[in-house]
A and B are shown apart, each in its own frame.
Chain A
Amino acid sequence: MATKAGLVWAALAVAGLFGAATFTTATPLPVWAQAAGPVTPVKVGVRRITETQYRHTIADVFGPDIKISARFEPEKREEGLLAVGSSQLSLTASGFEQYFALASSISEQALGEARRAETVGCTPKDTRKMDEACARQFVGSYGQQLFRRPLTEAETTARLKPASVGTQQSGDFYTGLQLALTSLLMDPDFIFRMETAEADPANPRTYRLDGYSKASRISYLLWDTTPDAELRAAASSGDIHTSAGLRKQLDRLVASPRFEDGARAFFTDMLQLDGFDNLIKDPATYPKFNQAVADSAKEQTLKTTIDLLVAKKRDYRDLFSSNETFINRYLASVYKVPYSSSNAWAPYTFPESSERAGILTQVSFLSLFAHPAGSSPTRRGVKVHEIFMCEPTPEPPADVDFSKVQDSAKGTVRGRLLDHMENTGCTACHRRSDPPGLALEHFDGLGQLRTMENGSRIDVSADLDGKKFEGAQGLAKYLRDDPKIPACLVRNVYAYGVGRPTDERDEDYIADQTAAFASSGYVLPSLMAQIASSPEFLKPVIPRLASPSAAKPL
Chain B
Amino acid sequence: MRYSTGTAIAAFALAAAFPAAASAEWTKTWVIEWNEPAMYYGAKSGVIDPGTDCPKGTNPDIDWVQVMVNAGYTREEAAWLRNPANPTRSPVHGQNQMAFRGKDRANVYINPTSTPDPGLTPVSGTIGEGIDLDGNTKNGFTGLNGEKGIDNSFYRTLGCWKTYRGPQRLSSGALQFNDAMRNGSWTTVIVATGKGADPMNDKDVKVGFYMSADKIVKDGNGGVALDYTFRIKPDAKYEALYSARTQNGVIASTAPADVMLRDPSYSQDLDLLRSRISLKMKPDGSLQGYVGGYRAWAPVYKGWVDARGPVIEALTWVQLPGVYYALQRNADFSPTGTAGEKTHISYAMRVDALPAFVMTPDGGKQVTEITSYKASAPPPSKPSATTFSVIDGLVPDRNAKVQAGPTAVILPPTTAPTSAGQ
Could you list which residues of chain A lie within 8 angstroms of chain B, going by C-beta atoms? 281, 283-284, 286-290, 292, 329-330, 332-334, 336-342
CB-defined A-B contacts under 8 Å, sample of 19 = A283-B220, A284-B221, A287-B221, A288-B220, A288-B225, A288-B227, A289-B219, A290-B220, A329-B214, A329-B217, A332-B228, A332-B229, A333-B228, A334-B227, A338-B229, A339-B229, A339-B357, A340-B229, A341-B363
Checking B225, B363, B365 against A287 with a beta-carbon cut-off of 8 angstroms, the contacting residue is: B225
Q: How far is the CA of A339 from the CA of B359 in the complex (A)?
A: 8
Interchain nearest-CB distance for B64 vs A (Å)? 44
> From residue 195 to 235 of chain B, which have CB atoms closer than 8 A to chain A?
214, 217-221, 223, 225-229, 231
Interchain nearest-CB distance for B155 vs A (Å)? 33
Residue B19 at the chain A interface, CB threshold 8 Å: no
Do A287 and B229 contact each other (CB < 8 Å), given the known contacts A338-B366, A340-B359, A340-B363? no
Contact: A333 with B225, CB < 8 Å? yes
Residue B362 at the chain A interface, CB threshold 8 Å: yes
Listed residue (A283, A286, A287) with the most chain B CB atoms within 10 angstroms of its CB = A287
Interchain nearest-CB distance for A283 vs B (Å)? 3
Interchain nearest-CB distance for B231 vs A (Å)? 7
Contact: A333 with B364, CB < 8 Å? no
B218 neighbours in A (Cβ, 8 Å): 290
> From residue 218 to 264 of chain B, which have CB atoms closer than 8 A to chain A?
218-221, 223, 225-229, 231
B357 neighbours in A (Cβ, 8 Å): 332, 337-339
Contact: B231 with A342, CB < 8 Å? yes
Contact: A333 with B363, CB < 8 Å? no
| Given A289-B219, A333-B228, 16 additional A-B pairs, CB 8 A | A283-B220, A287-B220, A287-B223, A287-B226, A290-B217, A290-B219, A290-B220, A290-B225, A329-B217, A333-B229, A334-B227, A340-B229, A340-B363, A340-B365, A341-B363, A342-B363
B359 neighbours in A (Cβ, 8 Å): 338-340
With both beta carbons as reference points, the residue of chain B lying nearest to A337 in the complex is identified as B357
> From residue 325 to 383 of chain B, which have CB atoms closer than 8 A to chain A?
357, 359, 362-366
Interchain nearest-CB distance for A293 vs B (Å)? 9
Contact: A333 with B227, CB < 8 Å? yes
Interchain nearest-CB distance for B357 vs A (Å)? 4
Listed residue (A284, A333, A337, A341) with the most chain B CB atoms within 10 angstroms of its CB = A333
B365 neighbours in A (Cβ, 8 Å): 340
Q: How far is the CA of A290 from the CA of B218 in the complex (A)?
A: 8
Interchain nearest-CB distance for B400 vs A (Å)? 41
With both beta carbons as reference points, the residue of chain B lying nearest to A330 in the complex is identified as B217
A292 neighbours in B (Cβ, 8 Å): 217
Do A288 and B226 contact each other (CB < 8 Å), given the known contacts A283-B221, A330-B217, A341-B363? yes
B227 neighbours in A (Cβ, 8 Å): 288, 332-334, 336
Checking A281, A284, A336, A342 against B362 with a beta-carbon cut-off of 8 angstroms, the contacting residue is: A342
Q: How far is the CA of A201 from the CA of B329 in the complex (A)?
A: 103
B90-128 toward A: CB 8 Å interface, digit per residue (1/0)? 000000000000000000000000000000000000000
Q: How far is the CA of A330 from the CA of B214 in the complex (A)?
A: 12
A334 neighbours in B (Cβ, 8 Å): 227
Do A340 and B228 contact each other (CB < 8 Å), given the known contacts A287-B221, A289-B220? no
Contact: B219 with A340, CB < 8 Å? no
B217 neighbours in A (Cβ, 8 Å): 290, 292, 329-330, 333
Q: How far is the CA of A287 from the CA of B362 in the complex (A)?
A: 29
Interchain nearest-CB distance for A334 vs B (Å)? 8
With both beta carbons as reference points, the residue of chain A lying nearest to B365 in the complex is identified as A340
Q: How far is the CA of A521 from the CA of B164 in the complex (A)?
A: 69
> From residue 52 to 105 of chain B, which have CB atoms closer than 8 A to chain A?
none
Interchain nearest-CB distance for A537 vs B (Å)? 45
With both beta carbons as reference points, the residue of chain B lying nearest to A292 in the complex is identified as B217
A286 neighbours in B (Cβ, 8 Å): 220
Q: How far is the CA of A333 from the CA of B230 in the complex (A)?
A: 11
Contact: A329 with B220, CB < 8 Å? no
The 3 closest A-B pairs by CB, nearest first: A283-B220, A338-B357, A339-B229
Q: How far is the CA of A318 from the CA of B219 in the complex (A)?
A: 33
Q: How far is the CA of A341 from the CA of B231 in the complex (A)?
A: 9
Contact: B231 with A281, CB < 8 Å? no
Contact: B364 with A340, CB < 8 Å? yes
B261-295 toward A: CB 8 Å interface, digit per residue (1/0)? 00000000000000000000000000000000000
Contact: B219 with A283, CB < 8 Å? yes
Q: How far is the CA of A333 from the CA of B224 in the complex (A)?
A: 12
Q: How far is the CA of A333 from the CA of B365 in the complex (A)?
A: 16
Listed residue (B214, B219, B231, B364) with the most chain A CB atoms within 10 angstroms of its CB = B219
Interchain nearest-CB distance for A515 vs B (Å)? 47
A340 neighbours in B (Cβ, 8 Å): 229, 359, 363-366
Q: How far is the CA of A337 from the CA of B214 in the complex (A)?
A: 16
Interchain nearest-CB distance for A282 vs B (Å)? 8
Interchain nearest-CB distance for B178 vs A (Å)? 18
Checking A281, A283, A329, A341 against B228 with a beta-carbon cut-off of 8 angstroms, the contacting residue is: A329
Interchain nearest-CB distance for B220 vs A (Å)? 3
Q: How far is the CA of A392 from the CA of B121 in the complex (A)?
A: 74
A330 neighbours in B (Cβ, 8 Å): 217
Contact: A288 with B219, CB < 8 Å? yes
B228 neighbours in A (Cβ, 8 Å): 329, 332-333
B220 neighbours in A (Cβ, 8 Å): 281, 283, 286-290
